[in-house]
Amino acid sequence: MRATYQNYMYYKKARQRFACTVYSILFVWLALTLMQIAVIALVIDARYFFYMNYYISFIFFGVGILLFGLFILFETLRFIIVLNFVLAIIIVESQIIALFALVARVFWIDVLAFFSICFVLLWIFILFGSILPRDADLTLDVAVVFIIAFVFLAIGIFFLMVHFAIPRTGYYSYLVFEIAITIMILAFVMYHAQTINGGRFAEMRLNDALLGSLILFHDFLIIYWLTFYWQILVRPFTPNNWILLANIEDVTNVAPCAYQRFDVFSLPQETNAPDKPPVQPPAPTPIPPPTQPPIPPPTQPPIPPPTKRPTRPPTTEPKTYLIIYSYTRLSWPWLRRSATTETLS
């Protein structure tokens, strides 16, 4: 009985050391992430490099996801002392470099503000998962956890499509999508915290500290990736009149929501030389308009004088109607006298 109790206390202390190791390594991963993205957000040359060469982040993201999948599937890679640590460093650095393409497009105050929010959420739900009573064992009812996660995933995907298909919904549809996915990930955070802390139906092995830290690190990344929508399009924490290392230009976004995006490389950068007066560009010399020769008025052809109709010369021959009139006048008394004689007879 005493030996059993001693074994139990030994296992409990070993489990506590394992949990402290996992959370310490996770804190190191998050600290490395914060330092490197802060450098990218503040150093203008590094920022511009990843702003233009964003495909580098795509390559590192693919490498990191591939190595992370191999690290989970093949136990041999996790149990070799030096190789497991080297692979964990490569996975974390690949995911951090993958973030640079997004960080290069936002202001550092938004980067730090949303990083802090996600950091606090992660540790709060790790604490919730650790202090839940044994009746709320998520490792025992893992099927329920996956069903709830599937429901929230369906809600999120639907409202994401609504966000792209119906622009009138604005950012509300994306907000529902982000909340649904975040709740799903935080449920898995509590599940992983219970497997790490032990004392539940399912527990993580005591030599898998790197795996536990990498799983929680990727849970954090998923929550943090979703916030770049607000960092790029809405910019809630950066004041409108704040210029950081570059001028700001409001550029209309081509996304269906048609928000305003703030591009830090859209204008030439600010010069830090207050002693020198600003150089005024030389005034452009006015260019005289080209001289043209005077245009003569349009000439019209001369109008000929009206021609008179040629008159017919008078003739000495009598006209026809005069002849008929003279004949009628001379014969009229004779005709009247003949008609009277016939009437009397």
Calculate the CA 107 to chain-centre distance.
16
Residue 138 is assigned to a structural domain of this protein: yes
Task: Choose between 129 and 328: higher pLDDT.
Answer: 129
Residue 280 is assigned to a structural domain of this protein: no
Res 62: pLDDT: 95
Domain extent for 107: 1-252
**pLDDT per residue as tens digits for the range 15-38:** 888 899 999 999 999 999 999 999
pTM for the predicted model, two decimal places: 0.69
Task: Choose between 246 and 79: higher pLDDT.
Answer: 79
Confidence of residue 138 (pLDDT cuts 50, 70, 90): confident
d(CA 197, CA 199): 7
Q: What is the mean pLDDT of residues 237-264?
A: 48
Confidence of residue 124 (pLDDT cuts 50, 70, 90): very high
Task: Choose between 328 and 255: higher pLDDT.
Answer: 328
261 phi/psi in degrees, rounded to 5: -110, 150
Residues 6+ apart with CB under 8 A from 181: 152, 153, 156, 222, 226
Residue 327 is assigned to a structural domain of this protein: no
Q: Is the sign of the CA dihedral 218, 223, 229, 231 positive or negative? A: negative
Residue 163 is assigned to a structural domain of this protein: yes
In the block, tokens 């928000």 appear at: 259
Residue 304 is assigned to a structural domain of this protein: no
Res 10: pLDDT: 79
Three-class HEC string of 28-46: HHHHHHHHHHHHHHHCHHH
Q: Residue 173 corresponds to which tokens in the numbers above?
A: 């549809």
Across 81-95, 226-240, 265-279, 302-316, least confident range: 265-279
Res 40: pLDDT: 92
Calculate the CA 15 to chain-centre distance.
46
d(CA 149, CA 183): 8
Residue 287 is assigned to a structural domain of this protein: no
Task: Choose between 167 and 284: higher pLDDT.
Answer: 167
Residue 326 is assigned to a structural domain of this protein: no
> Total domain count for the chain?
1
Res 248: pLDDT: 40
Confidence of residue 12 (pLDDT cuts 50, 70, 90): confident
Confidence of residue 309 (pLDDT cuts 50, 70, 90): low
Residue 102 is assigned to a structural domain of this protein: yes
